[in-house]
Chain A
Amino acid sequence: MSLSAASRDILVATVGRPHGVKGLVHLHAATEDPATVEDLGALHDVQGRAWSVEWHGAGIAALRDASGRLLADRDAAARMTNVKLFVERDRLPEPEGDEFYHVDLVGLEARDRDGELLGQIREVHDYGAGVSLEVAGGPRDFIVPFTLACVPEVNIAGGVVTVVPPVEIEVEGDLSGAGDVEVRA
């Protein structure tokens, strides 16, 4: 079973090189909208230190520590280079309706209707033509469309999704319309 969603930290930004001499840094947001990094409020690094972010332009940010102090100068900013900033999963806003965070789906066990283990969700693909889940680590690796027909149940708390893999078919034979064709799984 995967870790519960609430106990996980989500990487939301990585600090880049210093910017100027007043303690500003380049910040690489890992969220879809960079403004979310500021809206989330208190973040933390791997050492447990708390930080908050204020954007000062495209990709340029000021960092405040737990006591609200900004980084003093460029040297302090340089010491922050490559520091990763995280937020607890349960501080992300809850998705609406039948929406799911990709970070919640990755790592869930995929089981068929009989409870047989098919693998774990390794990746979520979304390239504009429907979402699909990549299942790996089981008897065989496969990709399944994230539809109600193919993924009828999603149990984030239980760490399990029920998957009905679609049949992948190939069509062979004379495709000009003159002869017979064979459709096989």
Chain B
Amino acid sequence: MARSVWKGPFVDGFLFGKAEAARASGRNEVIKIWSRRSTILPQFVGLTFGVYNGHKFLPVQVSENMVGHKFGEFSPTRTFHGHGADKKSKRG
């Protein structure tokens, strides 16, 4: 068994508590977090986190295919503007 599998996913404990508390409160808004190192768990699916990138809190809407990744992967600390001429996005 690979060591990383044996150790299991890492999540800051307080983050798990924050998500649970926010979900229980019924206020499914943007939950501000600083923990970029935490793994996204299935319990977080459907919530929106504002993940700090050292400058601002970027909204991260957690979906099923993001489970297993880290929060920091979706809130880059450096921004590349080079290929935006015909970039388009769909409203979620």
Interface residue ranges, A against B (CB under 8 Å)? 10-12, 28-32, 36, 92, 95, 97-103, 124-132, 134, 143-148, 151, 154, 166-171, 175-177, 181, 183, 185
Contacts and interface: CB of A to CB of B under 8 A. Distances in A.
Contacts of A169: 22, 27, 29-32
B5 to A, nearest CB: 24
A171 B22 contact: yes
B58 interface: yes
B90 A29 contact: no
B18 to A, nearest CB: 4
B30 A30 contact: no
Interface of B: 13-14, 16-18, 21-22, 25, 27, 29-32, 48, 50, 56-63, 66, 73-76, 82-92
Contacts of A145: 30, 48, 59, 61, 92
5 contacts: A11-B85, A130-B59, A147-B92, A175-B21, A183-B22
Given A10-B85, A97-B90, A98-B91, A129 B31 contact: no
